[in-house]
Structure 1
């Protein structure tokens, strides 16, 4: 090793942000281990690297004693004082040694350490970068598929879109650019693992934040989202500013804002409703696009009985119960929907029994 090696470490420090002194300490420790493997571990040695020239020196460390029992570990007081008159029993003598072929071993070891530390530092930087972006949205390019997992190229690293986080019916072709929600960033022995989703409700929320300035600025709040990815989403919004139409802001002029998000989600339907403190009003809105006649609530059980016109019943329940199910998730209430005729029939039965 030489001055070019030190200059290379200076460059690594600037480009990768790895402290040169930390690297040199690690290299010294690694070369010490390499020396013991190649030249025997019986003796105590110390490796030093000159911080200016890059020169590597090996010192054999020997304790000063009256009687020498091990020549590898000890030196007599007489021999020690021949080197330096001030040595006393108990001191440690550092004796320069020059083993054959040591330069090649040192250079190889130093290279391995530097490469490993650079790899570790880059993994650490990537982990910190994406760990701080959990619950955010990111754009990536579909790279490949393996065992139903889709790997997304993020530039400096890749993310994993597992089968459970893929939208039903959505295809992922090589080169496609898609927006994803960062669910979790894990540390692994192979570096950071970034888990992303296309099904998480947070993806819809972040897409609206990107598309609707009023949400990004905090003028409009997204209070709740329920989603069945690839099919339908319900979202409740609210604004404390009476002059701002929260639903209108999200829909945009002629539906332009919401359409951008529908296109990104490959045609997924999105119902945007106004959030309300009034439970009855909120539940009625949540069942949109169905029109509700009345809502009766039981606060203790957090359940609601909803009445709709007969022709609105199928719309209120939705295909395979989806509309009612999403409304219940959105509001946090258990919702029982009945048609007006069924309700009237139940009322008549009760009257006859009484």
Structure 2
């Protein structure tokens, strides 16, 4: 079959659907095979594209049976044909041969043509979905910008990139979030799954990694590795605690992260609807690390350090006990999560009463 227009259409379909020509060829191949099977009543067909010759070849396949009894080890995927019937199709046919019979698309019946179109569209849509999925999969574990399209009782409908729409459940938004249609927000992509109807993207604003990604975006020294985030914890919508270490002695880890006049940390807090960000200096010294993690509360001493169990006792001034513990235990909870240590806290007076030496 010589058809230059067919190969031109392949390129047009590829361009219209943001696909490669190879992907469109695959869809057409599967469609032509489905039509060939319907037309000839066979189980297997072969399609060959010869673009340089503007040629399309379609073959139905038969396996020519040997003389005598059937062998049990014959490949059952083929349609079998007796030698006499095979010779009627091709006088040179031989037994135990895979005989290919050429068929022209113009000979396809209505039902065969219908199967061609159906299978072509089915495969093309599968490829398009897979392409979208692979593109979205690259966003997994990343922070993305989104636009609020709709506000419902239990979720926000948001648009991520072009024509990618998903939902931000309100349980995954911050208590302080009060978004309106048209608002631009930042969300963290927790997962991308392929569903029957296509890819589905899951997003969150409560995930602790959102704070990390915001820090990377607004603090170049974190993005390039000069400053490392070594510990982080979060009470979404209220407070985060971040342990940082500078790999350059000339770069102040806290000053660089906060920014001039607090500009950097304020931007991060703004995108988290006012969530406060506590920063502390990371230390390889266990006692220093524990003391730093409890900031803004001052720590008099750290004792009873058990590296194996990762437990320790922090002694704080009497007047700072409530600050060290925090409202509903928030400060110590975040310190424990960020540092990786289980921290008990006592006031100086209580430590003295118990005879704790430090």
Aligned length: 338
| Counterpart secondary structure, 2:250 | coil
The alpha carbon displacement at 1:255 in A equals 0.3
Shift of residue 54, structure 1, vs aligned partner: 7.8
Map of 2:269 onto structure 1 = 262
CA contact (8 A) 1:280 1:297 kept: no
SS in 2 for 1:158: strand
Which residue of the partner structure matches residue 280 of structure 1? 287
Tell me, yes or no, if structure 1 residue 347 matches structure 2 residue 348: no
Q: Displacement of 1:267 after TM fit?
A: 0.4
The answer to whether the 8 Å contact 1:80/1:87 transfers is yes
The equivalent of 2:322 in structure 1 is: 314
Deviation of 1:203 after TM superposition, in Å, equals: 0.6
1:332 to 315, 322, 340: 340
Contact 1:180 1:196 in 2 (8 A): yes
Gaps of 5+ in 1: none
Q: Does 1:230 align with 2:237?
A: yes
| Matched position secondary structure for 2:295 | coil
Question: Contact 1:221–1:237 (CA<8 Å) still a contact in 2?
Answer: yes
Q: Distance in 1 between matches of 2:238 and 2:202?
A: 22
Alpha-carbon separation, structure 1, partners of 2:156 and 2:332: 32
Measured after TM superposition, the shift of residue 261 of structure 1 is 0.4
User: What is the rounded CA distance, in whole Å, between the counterparts of 1:307 and 1:224 in structure 2?
Assistant: 22
* Residue 118, structure 1, aligned to residue 124, structure 2: yes
SS of equivalent residue, structure 1 residue 328: helix
CA offsets, 1:120-172, max 9 Å, x none? 22221222222233221111122346783444321242334345422224234
Instruction: Give the Å deviation of 1:110.
Output: 3.0
Which residue of the partner structure matches residue 30 of structure 2?
Answer: 26
2:204 match = 197
Over 3 Å counting, the alpha-carbon distance change for 1:86 and 1:13 in structure 2 is same
RMSD: 3.5
The corresponding residue for 2:13 is: 12
Q: Contact (CA 8 Å) 2:233, 2:240: kept in 1 or not?
A: yes
Report the CA distance shift for 1:108/1:289 in structure 2 as closer, same or farther (over 3 A): same
Larger mean CA deviation between 25-34 and 303-312 belongs to: 25-34
Q: Distance in 2 between matches of 1:29 and 1:290?
A: 73
Greater displacement, 4-13 / 213-222:
4-13
Query: In the alignment, does 2:304 pair up with 1:303?
Result: no
Q: Distance in 1 between the 2:156 and 2:342 partners?
A: 37
SS in 2 for 1:152: strand
Is the 1:63–1:93 Cα contact (8 Å) retained in structure 2? yes
Instruction: Measure how far apart 1:102 and its partner are.
Output: 3.9
Among residues 211, 219, 224, which one is paired with 1:217 in the alignment? Answer: 224
Q: 1:31, 1:47 within 8 Å by CA — same for their partners in 2? A: no
Residue 292 of structure 1: SS of its match in structure 2?
coil
How far off is 1:65 after superposition?
8.8
